Every structure is written in C-alpha cells, then in structure tokens.
Amino acid sequence: MRSVCLADSVLIRLALPCAEMGRNGDSMKTIRHFGYAAILAAAVLNYAPSQASAEEPSRGHFKLAHEVRWENAVVPAGEYAFSYDPDGLSPVLTISKMDGPRASFMLMVPARDVSSGKDSNALVLESTSAGIYVSTLRLPESGVTLHFRVPRPAEKQMAKAETNSASGQ
C-alpha cells in the first residue's frame, strides 16, 4: 500500500519527504551529490592556471663594449647573461657578468610591448649628456620588447624680467 503526501503546491511537495515504505530518497541524494561534485570539478579545472598558458623565462647573452647606464645602475663593459621572467609578480630583468669580476643586477621593467617576429634580438642604446643608457631590449623569439627609462634633459626656460623704472618720465 502506498502512502500519499498531501501538499498544497508543487514546491511544498518537493520539499516535504514522503514516508513511503522502503524508499527514503537516497538515490536522488547520491545523484545530486554527484552533480555538485562534477560542477565543482569543472569549475576548478576551468579556472586553475595551466602550465601551457605560462610563458617561459627569456634567457640569453650579450656583450657590452663599454660602460652603460641601465636605469639607475652603472653596468661595466663585459660579457653578460640575462634572464627575464614575465610571469613574476613584478617583471624583473636579471643580468650577471660572466667575465672578470662578478657583478649582478636586478632591474625592474617599467614597460613592455609585444614584439613582432620580424624584429631581431637587440640591445638599443641611447646617448644623453649624462652618458649612454639602455633604452630597449628586443626579444622577438620570446615575443616581447622591454623598455627602460632614459633620463631626458630638463628643458630650460628663461623668463625675461622687465623692470619699470620710476624715474618720472
């Protein structure tokens, strides 16, 4: 014999458990829990960072024929190895001197652009009255161009002072 649940609306019927003999709704709970677990797993896998989306650090070598200024650092002439990790919290370029007395520099990268594949690897120097500065490091194989600050000469402004003489003219 079946027992009957009496309810005034469909929502109440779904919320009220019916006391039927030998049937307590365990299969529906199992299906619901499985559904929640599948949705949770899909959400976690969708938003978790994947190794394929992470960029590889850029590495390479260059040689400086003379001392240059790189941001606030004075970098002596010599052979250097560099590495740039674009996935860091703040992008930093690390350069290490490979010959002579050891020296290493960590430089913040204030700006970067996407590099076109037709560019060539290059360290762009800019001459100022204060010295020679590194302005750009192009790494097209890594798809990035790094830009560094070069101080600009302050514009000199002169104002002509006019004096009015009170000579009673």
122 with 141, same domain: the answer is yes
- What's the total number of domains in the chain? 2
Report yes or no on 96 lying in a domain: yes
Report yes or no on 157 lying in a domain: no
65 with 84, same domain: the answer is yes
63 with 108, same domain: the answer is yes
User: What is the model's pLDDT at position 32?
Assistant: 76
Report yes or no on 138 lying in a domain: yes
Tell me the three state secondary structure of residue 137.
strand
18 with 68, same domain: the answer is no
Report yes or no on 117 lying in a domain: yes
pLDDT tens sequence across 25-76? 566 677 777 776 777 666 665 555 444 445 677 889 999 999 999 988 999 9
Residue span of the structural domain in which 32 resides = 10-47
pLDDT tens sequence across 83-120? 988 777 778 889 999 998 888 999 888 888 887 777 78
**pTM of the predicted protein model:** 0.56
Residue 109: name the closest of 127, 125, 85 by CA.
85
Report yes or no on 37 lying in a domain: yes
User: What is the model's pLDDT at position 98?
Assistant: 92
23 with 101, same domain: the answer is no
Residue 96: name the closest of 121, 46, 60 by CA.
60
Report yes or no on 79 lying in a domain: yes
User: What is the model's pLDDT at position 53?
Assistant: 45
